[in-house]
Amino acid sequence: MLVNEFFEVMQSLEGLVPLVRTIIGITTVYLIFKLFIDLAKKSLLKKARTKKQISNVELF
């Protein structure tokens, strides 16, 4: 009885698994991209000398 209910719940969630996997994948790619952008921005801010260069990096 309990096993049948478990399988019914798993079958109802079957369509949800790809959605969750996609959301996790997109979030992971976004966080990695954001990390690289932040590292590049920090590096460019260290190299910027003039106010114009600094403001350009901050806009980036």
Break the chain into its structural domains and give their ranges.
18-59
pLDDT band at 56 (very low <50, low <70, confident <90, very high): confident
Q: 33 or 15, which is more confident? A: 33
pLDDT, mean of residues 33-57: 91
Angle (CA) 22-6-19 rounded to 5° is 10
Would you give the DSSP letter of residue 50? Answer: S
> Token pair for residue 58?
């901050």
**pTM to 2 decimal places:** 0.63
**Which residues in 37-54 are b (16+ Cβ under 10 Å) and which e?**
eeeeeeeeeeeeeeeeee
pLDDT band at 1 (very low <50, low <70, confident <90, very high): low
Residue with tokens 């979030």: 27
